Amino acid sequence: MRFTIDGEPFEIDRHAAAARIREIVPEPVQTHWVDVDGVRFPIKQALEAAFGLRRSRFTSHTARSALGRLGFTTGTSAGVSSTRTIPGGAPTKVPLRSTRGQPTAPVSAEQAGVAFSALVTFLRSGPLTTGVSTLEYRLLGAGRDSAAAVTATAGLTEDLLQAALIVRRDVGRVSDVIHAAVISLALPVILEEGETVVNRPSLGPGNDPSRPYDLETDRRIAEFKVALWSGGDMMRRRTLTADLVHLALDESGRRPELWVAGDEPIRFLRTSAMTVDKLLSRSSQRLRDRYHERYGSGAIPMRSFTTDQAGHVCLRNLADVLPVVASALL
């Protein structure tokens, strides 16, 4: 997503902004705040961290507008604490935020473990997408009393919500850990004799202009998509397409590789009739402009683009080189 603040252009997505904000310690909230993974940050401190822009160059209104466009919740009221019963345990006071916006100490590892167990049990009870769809239909025409009964029957209780909030707060960056671990562990396996890494790998979320790819060596460029597909994967399809186009556009002469977890992402690229234009509709304007400059029409089916325009990009399965990824796919 593109922004212009104090005359300077920026391009950043929600994931990258959240990752940068999470690396700082929240200052006390005076008036305006933004919620990032359950923690409230002063609005100007958060934008300063996300954009790398001195807070003296923008107003609180500008910060709220920019962070709101990125999908973050903002507000002006003070934070609150909540007392709930952790599933399987005694009632425990679990402050989600301090009254001045300061992050509070997390619950104990034991309580977090109980919360995680409750959340996993719920998620394994059936396909979440199907369950949510069923609940939507059952809520149609419901009133206050019947809505509460239908929701409780679906298992969406306050205890479950509390468990999910605890898990999100403690393991909210697990995707970042997985991304970094996958690339680091794959390197000793995939690097060829004499091949060397020539640019600092992008192990964290997002790529910056100096590191356009997750991995650059003297022989290859590579992007890694570690998400496990399980149905309802439209957002994953979009980001996968963006990475494939990004690699296909490279003119360095090095071998482009797109690494994914499992066969389903590769099957999508090779068989989908969806057009590249539609799949790139939420990608950066710069990437879309480069695509149209090189390939012209956006009405190319994904399967045709994969075979023809991006036929030189190697599609690789991480399960073939990392047994731990293969076991997660079972």
Q: Tokens 């609940």 correspond to what residue?
A: 135
Structure confidence by residue, pLDDT tens digits, 215-245: 999 999 999 998 888 766 788 999 999 999 9
Is-above-0.95 flag for pTM? no
In degrees and rounded to multiples of 5, residue 156 shows phi and psi of -90, 80
Among 77-81, 84-88, 161-165, 290-294, the range with the most confident prediction by mean pLDDT is 290-294
Minimum mean pLDDT among 79-88, 172-181, 295-304: which range?
Answer: 79-88
| Distance between CA atoms of residues 263 and 245, nearest Å | 19
Mean of the per-residue pLDDT values for the chain? Answer: 83
- Count the alpha carbons within 13 Å of 241 in the hemisphere toward its beta carbon: 33
pLDDT in tens, 105-152: 557 778 888 888 888 888 888 777 677 888 888 888 888 888 888 888
Strands (E), 39-144: 39-42, 73-75, 82-85, 91-94
pLDDT at 81 over 70: no
Looking at residue 251, its pLDDT comes to: 95
Say whether 209 sits in a helix, a strand or coil.
Answer: coil
Which of 47 and 204 is assigned the larger pLDDT?
47
- What pLDDT sits at residue 104? 47
**CA 135 to mean position of chain CA atoms:** 25
